[in-house]
Structure 1
Amino acid sequence: MNARSPLARKLSNFVRLNEAELLVLDGFERRRTDFASGKDLVQQGQSKHTAYILSSGWVCSYKLQPDGSRQIVDFQIPGDFLGLRSVLLRTSDHSFEAVTDIQAAQVHAKDLLAAFSDTPRLATAVFWAASRDEAMVVEHLVNLGCRDADARMAHFLLELASRLSLVGLGTKQGYDCPLTQYHLADALGLSAVHVNRVLRKLRERGLVTFREGHVTFNDIDGLIKLAEFDPGYLDQEDPVLL
């Protein structure tokens, strides 16, 4: 693995990794497995599971409700850990499903703990990534509870742009995005019909176009203003949207 891999690029935003630390990350990613779209990597309530590092593709983390509905908590992109918190718990508190065909590397708790003991700077970088994920969940709660549908969608698309830029997959012009309107509905607390209506409104206002798996920013400053988007919670040295 090298400094251009998604995980190394992400963690290097917090600390410049040395050769020994990069070799440890390389070891984490050796046990790679392919998963087909729609496959659960970890299921809610599952015990004795491992964490994963997402090497390629997109994943969603979600919780199922008793009536069969689901709330998508977040989407994971290359360079993200899957189940890092849950690997230390007796059971997983939510599920992870492949949105696209993906490749992910298994990481066992004992290997994580050994690596953290041997490379404390790397442990700090991983803790930074976990803390950043928690900050995003807090912002998602604000998104669901305090923003109207237009601002909610705008904020979501801008956050994805910032996250993807950190691993070389997004720019101020836009990014590839495999999410369906049903994914967006489950993540944003809207119906699929409402999602369609909101995206059409944002397109007609000349702000953003989401079509055929690609997000194009037509007026990113206007979209930032609509969402009142402040990327500070993402803790990136060079936020792409500023």
Structure 2
Amino acid sequence: MEDSCVIRNLSHFTTIGPEEARILHELELEPIKYKKDDKIWREGHQPDNIYTLHSGWAYTYQVMSNGKIRVLDIFLPGDIMGIRDATLPHHATSCAMLSSGDVCPLPAWRLTEIFHEYPNLAMSIHASSARQQAIITDRLFNVLSNDAKCRVAHFILEIYYRLKRVNTDLQEGFTLPLLQKHISLVLGLTHVHISRVLKEMEENNILKKARNQIEIMDIKKLYNMSNFDPERYTDAINSHLTHYISKTDHRDTL
């Protein structure tokens, strides 16, 4: 079977066997095409599905009482979306596309089947959700603890590191379909401040942003100014859990 970004993502956590790969491929048989800014779900609605992002970028956000928007998740190809809301009576966020792309829905009730029949796959899905939460937590620390330059550098490395997980051939230039307004909402800075920091980084030959493209010109300098710790993004699984999986899931692996 043809590989997929979802399988590449989840296989970082546990080994995906043939039957589990079949289930994941089934999720991608009938993708729905979305355009930029299309809504995938809305805050307050009942969660009917979880979703795999086959292509394109998406994000979750909340609209606060004063009308301002707070951006939470940035989803990249291969990510599972909506898993944290699946057991809630209502979505805690809204989700929209940052670019055009293909999204594959999975009825939320099928999670019970996956958790019962495929503990190895269930662990990978849970691990993916936990990593998404860890990214949000790390980004919050970044916003609360660092100056503007550090925040921007940290965010660029976060995206670069996550993209490289599912595309090992990724070079130090990549697509970033976020407007400066999105980056400012993620990092708690003004558009003007973001523009000033990016211009200074370009003048210092650290990175260059042109439209929706980022080129990292000096990744060592970017790391040095970012306080970015790759270990916070580890794919390692608690050894007690992997030991349990090895005893309960005897399916052949790929």
TM-score norm. by structure 2 comes to: 0.89
Q: Is the 8 A contact 2:59 2:75 kept in 1?
A: yes
1:61 maps to 60
Change (3 A) 1:196 1:169: farther
* Secondary structure, counterpart of 2:72 in structure 1: strand
Rg comparison, structure with higher value:
2
Distance in 1 (alpha carbons) for counterparts of 2:169 and 2:92: 30
* Secondary structure, counterpart of 2:224 in structure 1: helix
2:251 maps to none
CA displacement 1:101-123 (0-9 Å, x = unmatched): 12101111221220221111011
1:88 maps to 87
Gaps of 5+ in 2: 237-254
Identity %: 28
Number of aligned residue pairs? 236
Q: CA RMSD in A?
A: 1.5
Distance in 2 (alpha carbons) for counterparts of 1:40 and 1:31: 18
Q: Is the 8 A contact 1:32 1:103 kept in 2?
A: yes
Within the alignment, does 1:17 sit opposite 2:22 as a pair? Answer: no
Q: 4+ runs of 1 displaced by more than 6 Å?
A: none
Change (3 A) 1:48 1:153: closer
Distance in 1 (alpha carbons) for counterparts of 2:222 and 2:146: 14
Distance in 2 (alpha carbons) for counterparts of 1:95 and 1:46: 9
Q: Which has the higher contact order (CA 8 A, sep 6+)?
A: 2
CA displacement 1:75-101 (0-9 Å, x = unmatched): 101111111111210000011011111
CA displacement 1:31-60 (0-9 Å, x = unmatched): 421111111111111124321111110101
* Secondary structure, counterpart of 1:200 in structure 2: helix
1:46 maps to 45
* Mean CA deviation greater in 170-179 or 47-56: 170-179
1:221 maps to 220
* Secondary structure, counterpart of 1:41 in structure 2: strand
Q: Is the 8 A contact 2:47 2:88 kept in 1?
A: no
1:78 maps to 77
TM-score norm. by structure 1 comes to: 0.93
Gaps of 5+ in 1: 238-242
* Mean CA deviation greater in 63-72 or 24-33: 24-33
1:181 maps to 180
Change (3 A) 1:196 1:72: same
Distance in 2 (alpha carbons) for counterparts of 1:103 and 1:187: 24
Q: Is the 8 A contact 1:161 1:172 kept in 2?
A: no
2:250 maps to none
Q: Aligned ranges for residues 1-242 of structure 1 at < 5 Å? A: 2=2, 4-168=3-167, 171-236=170-235
* Mean CA deviation greater in 85-94 or 162-171: 162-171
Distance in 2 (alpha carbons) for counterparts of 1:74 and 1:170: 24
* Secondary structure, counterpart of 2:225 in structure 1: helix
Q: Shift of residue 201 of structure 1?
A: 1.1
1:240 maps to none
CA displacement 1:173-214 (0-9 Å, x = unmatched): 221111111111111111111111111111112111111321
Distance in 2 (alpha carbons) for counterparts of 1:174 and 1:135: 25
* Mean CA deviation greater in 58-67 or 156-165: 58-67
